[in-house]
Structure 1
């Protein structure tokens, strides 16, 4: 298990956690599988046709809106009247075959006490495709997707509050696993134990620089590039109590 130390301070632990909350893309499956590049390409294709602009301009807007609004879709909705359902159907029409079953992750999830939930800026359909390929669908008690969030994405505070209310989660008894540090700011403020899931350092991953920042920020309790190993460690520690 490769775990990178969080900042030198008292990190929150997992002793009282009974709700395990996971982001989907680049968290439940490793970033080096590069599914996101497929989604990226589909977004650029859609924006090119939707706005009638060249691919360079479509890509620029896509990335600008992603950083400013949490998702490219949200920026397109606010500024251009985008139909989110149509957009999501188009951009998630990708090849999921690079994802392979993850039995070690499944065993780790099964060993954790309490409910396991997915909180994603994607759709339920996309989450089901991903967890189906991973062989993990039966481990999760629910998916809170962008439709449930009324198309308001992480890191907006109202999205986390709506999620907590929908699933009856006490944030002081919950842990959140994410690949973007900025999406862990609000969970930490709400009392959740936060875990930043980073790419495997031995694998080449194409991400924007800001997406990889934040592992030393005060709102990050733990950092790991091996989610399955990290969860096995938690389960073993809880068993020894």
Structure 2
């Protein structure tokens, strides 16, 4: 039987975005919203958080409710060379990915230039056959079903033969409902019902013998 296909998230899955990258992106998003929506910092921060919770991405809320151009917003708030100073990832990440049999795909809510740039700086881009930033999802982010369906359709994949590796529980819930095997990257001890496996780091994937 052929190997399964690995679908990886990027931020806080393959690298530690919460170590500084996310904080700076959030700051840039807040400033962008202050300028373009003419609101103060407190209002922008609250709206950013609400849209992220409601839509899965602040960008989606801004384009849906305010007509903000998503591409302009993403370019302004994801300056790769600035964000790269906080890049943190596992020392043997490339080796861990090489050890996994089967195709590997990136499915991220981040913009394409950022996703490809971070992978390149980690020197792991060649491990992935396809890379999906949010533009390639028609700007409809995870956990929306459409995001997953877009990738499955374009890649000709059966969800029952896919393994979703993610730090986000809402994203894993959609993946599980579609029939994928779910792996949660988290330091938490709990394992919700829609999570098949929980790992602390990517290096632990090989021992699960999933593919």
Common fold by TM > 0.5: yes
Q: 1:111 aligns to what?
A: 99
Give the RMSD, CA atoms, in angstroms. Answer: 2.1
Displacement of 1:98 in angstroms is 2.5
Q: 2:120 aligns to what?
A: 132
Moved over 3 A (4+): 100-103
Displacement of 1:78 in angstroms is 1.0
Q: 1:238 to 1:136 in 2, by over 3 A?
A: same
Q: Counterparts of 2:120 and 2:24 in 1: how far apart (Å)? A: 18
1:45 maps onto 2:19 in alignment: no
Displacement of 1:128 in angstroms is 1.3
Q: 1:144 aligns to what?
A: 132
CA shift digits 1:170-211 (9 cap, x unpaired): 211110011110101111111111011114x7xxxxxxxxxx
Displacement of 1:169 in angstroms is 1.6
1:227 maps onto 2:202 in alignment: yes
Contact 2:96/2:202 (<8 A) preserved: no
Greater shift, 134-143 or 81-90, is seen at: 134-143
Contact 1:176/1:184 (<8 A) preserved: yes
Greater shift, 181-190 or 102-111, is seen at: 102-111
Q: Structure 2-normalised TM-score?
A: 0.91
Structure 1 unmatched ranges of 5 or more: 1-14, 202-213
Q: Structure 1-normalised TM-score?
A: 0.81
Higher helix share: 2
Q: Counterparts of 1:148 and 1:16 in 2: how far apart (Å)? A: 27
Alignment partner for residue 48 of structure 2, among 27, 37, 62? 62
Greater shift, 32-41 or 187-196, is seen at: 32-41
Greater shift, 31-40 or 110-119, is seen at: 31-40
Aligned residues: 209
Q: Counterparts of 2:201 and 2:63 in 1: how far apart (Å)? A: 35
Q: Name the structure, 1 or 2, with higher relative contact order (CA <8 Å, separation 6+).
A: 1
